[in-house]
Amino acid sequence: MGTVDVANKDVTASLAEEKPKVVFVLGGPGSGKGTQCANIVEHFHYTHLSAGDLLRAEIKSGSENGTMIQNMIKEGKIVPSEVTIKLLQKAMLESGNDKFLIDGFPRNEENRAAFEAVTKIEPEFVLFFNCPEEEMERRLLSRNQGREDDNIETIRKRFKVFLESSLPVIEYYRAKGKVQEIDAAKPVGEVFEAVKVVFTPKAEKVAA
């Protein structure tokens, strides 16, 4: 067991030395954060890491870790924060980059506290795509061609879960002055203009 701990310590130490710039990206279902993350990657050369994608990739790999994750999900259990954080750390180190968008994580207060405790990294800021529930519903229903009554119920459940679990995280960072809130109800182009302002260094803004 000792070697695994040493390996994890090495990963944490290597990452801490890099002093990476981490931005947490949060927003409810249909807030358009995936599209905006792609724009940020293209314009500002961040590496986009989705906690959900990393977990799915690990399951697909057929590793012992992946099987454990799959079994937990099947049983309706929540994957421990440490498991997700280790996958994020590994992806950060392997990327060779030092600027990261971490999408859909931390999902709750426990995730948040564990990320800072394990990685010793505090995010630069939280990019919060705030979008009213009605607008999210409209977007999700227009791209979902299923039975409307099923969809609307599922969407509302997902939105409720997002509010209950992620809002405390946003409030925690807001109290530290670390939340950049974007009005995500606007058209995609306008939303990205607001995002660009957040990511453009202050000196460049003056020059522009």
Check whether 22 is labelled as a binding-site residue.
no
Residue 50 CB coordination number (10 Å) = 20
Check whether 67 is labelled as a binding-site residue.
no
Check whether 195 is labelled as a binding-site residue.
no
Check whether 144 is labelled as a binding-site residue.
no
Check whether 188 is labelled as a binding-site residue.
no
> What is the residue whose two structure tokens read 């995280």?
169
Check whether 35 is labelled as a binding-site residue.
yes
Check whether 156 is labelled as a binding-site residue.
no
Q: Where are the alpha helices (DSSP H) in 75-176?
A: 81-95, 109-119, 133-143, 148-175
Check whether 174 is labelled as a binding-site residue.
no
Check whether 2 is labelled as a binding-site residue.
no
Check whether 138 is labelled as a binding-site residue.
no
Strand order in the sheet with 47-50: 47-50, 99-103, 21-27, 125-130, 179-183
Check whether 105 is labelled as a binding-site residue.
yes
* Residues composing the chain: 208
Check whether 107 is labelled as a binding-site residue.
yes
Q: Which two tokens stand for residue 45?
A: 């050369």
Check whether 79 is labelled as a binding-site residue.
yes
User: Residue positions in the annotated binding site for ATP?
Assistant: 30-35, 143, 186
User: Residue positions in the annotated binding site for CMP?
Assistant: 111
User: Residue positions in the annotated binding site?
Assistant: 30-35, 56, 77-79, 104-107, 111, 143, 147, 158, 186
